[in-house]
Structure 1
């Protein structure tokens, strides 16, 4: 983007790709909610529909994400395919804070969340960050150090994490 584009008020879409599991099913949250912990622990023995029908994501974390989106004009996009838009909206994430789904050009049966994220970010031409406990994908994300906010999976969404995310979007990376 050149200076003249900035001068006429062009604002690039901002998207936060987030790992739903590590942020909204954090260990702290599961420790406080034994019923939810039991559902997560038994998820391998349930159908996908049954699992999502019983699961309750961290409502405080969802509220913090909604407030962040409202105040920052950043949209959310879940990593992976387990937690779909309809489920997230039902859990309390506001529809207007979710980035739109796009048809993505990926290899057949490609379930790698980082490749899906990059394809989506490229497709919508976005200023993006990714947040969560994504240790399995550290090698893929090592090229994007300024965009990757790594969490430990213990605390979930906190005010400190929201501040870190907001600060990262203040630093222009392009």
Structure 2
């Protein structure tokens, strides 16, 4: 036990740095994806409308669809609904992940980033005044939750349960 505590103390700064590096990379990728929406779809659409000199009913419908997609992306970023962008599938009907603090988000970002080459499903549900979070990932593919990340998850989310054989991670956090 002392060796683990000593290792934790000695590597705490390295772990924080690595979590921030991974988080920064994931955020950058998400930002690039949102910009790609504008550059690949919105920009050409608007240039086409300008070149045509008129707006058809199909153009109006396309404008509504693109506007909704762009608005959704901006609102998600502003509201902190970040998890849907880093997992394959998110079930969080009550928007509970917005209640995680920055440290908790960074650790979850790091876990999802480490499993980026696998299909991940996150389920967040209200449970007795708290939020119950479970992350499941597919068999095969690259990426894993290494021992350092597992330790970090257990530090940030006391009582976290990591079941590597079942490809499942579970923890609870407070909903303020």
Same fold, TM-score > 0.5, yes or no? no
Q: Which is richer in strand? A: 2
Instruction: Please give the range of the TM-score, normalised by the shorter of the 2 chains.
Output: under 0.3
Task: State the TM-score, normalized to the length of structure 2.
Answer: 0.20
Highest RCO, 1 vs 2 (Cα 8 Å, sep ≥ 6): 1
Q: Which is richer in helix? A: 2
Task: State the TM-score, normalized to the length of structure 1.
Answer: 0.20
